[in-house]
Amino acid sequence: MNFILYRFDQPEATAPWQAIDDRVMGGVSASRMHHDPAGHGVFSGEVSLENNGGFASVRAPVRPPEAAAGASACLLEVRGDGRRYKLNLRTDDNFDGITHQAGFAPPAGEWAWVRLPLADFVATWRGRPVTAPDTLAAAQLRQLGLLIADRQAGPFRLEVRAIALGD
């Protein structure tokens, strides 16, 4: 059984998503999450390598239902642009701290479900691997985000229909 965390078929689904780009450290990349009238969300913008930048991201709060506690994977229904992205998971409500990341490269121009096992997420702090105190569990999730940091300057566009927890 899948537990939908975000479904982007309605405009209000993108409201909680906030951009956190390399501007926090002097870069000039820019991104946003917005609703496409075709019934999906769009994480888009432009990555710039100027001023030692190179990443763009969006983040939103999440509270998985209790029934999802045993979920072993994150599932994303996405359509890519040929670039590589990461899904970020956080187990606290803080702005900065440990983030669990898993990379994915959805097919360009076609919708697909991407499955990211929770066991494959790597604990990081500001992009660098660290040792996490505990194993990542679905019930602990408090924030999730999308990130592009592929060292390639230019525009990007990741379309998202849904983000869920499941097996």
What tens digit of pLDDT does each residue of 91-147 get? 999 999 999 999 999 999 999 999 999 999 999 988 888 887 677 899 999 999 999
d(CA 32, CA 52): 20
In this predicted structure, what is the pLDDT of residue 126?
83
Q: How many Cβ atoms are within 10 Å of 14's Cβ, its own excluded? A: 21
Predicted TM-score of the model (pTM): 0.95
- At residue 160 the predicted structure's pLDDT band, cuts being 50, 70 and 90, is very high
d(CA 54, CA 24): 12
Taking residues 26-46, report their average pLDDT: 97
Taking residues 1-11, report their average pLDDT: 95
CA distances from 119 to 69, 72, 161, 165 (A): 14, 8, 24, 13
Residue type, position 9, single letter = D
Taking residues 49-63, report their average pLDDT: 96
In this predicted structure, what is the pLDDT of residue 135?
78
* Closest by Cα among 48, 66, 67 to 149: 48
In this predicted structure, what is the pLDDT of residue 129?
86
**135 vs 50 pLDDT, higher one:** 50
Backbone phi and psi for residue 129, each to the nearest 5 degrees, phi listed first: -60, 140
Structural domains present in the chain: 3-166 (2.60.120.260)
**82 vs 131 pLDDT, higher one:** 82
- At residue 79 the predicted structure's pLDDT band, cuts being 50, 70 and 90, is very high
What is the chain's mean pLDDT, rounded?
Answer: 95
Taking residues 27-40, report their average pLDDT: 97
In this predicted structure, what is the pLDDT of residue 140?
93
In this predicted structure, what is the pLDDT of residue 131?
84
* Closest by Cα among 65, 148, 145 to 106: 148
* Closest by Cα among 97, 50, 103 to 80: 103
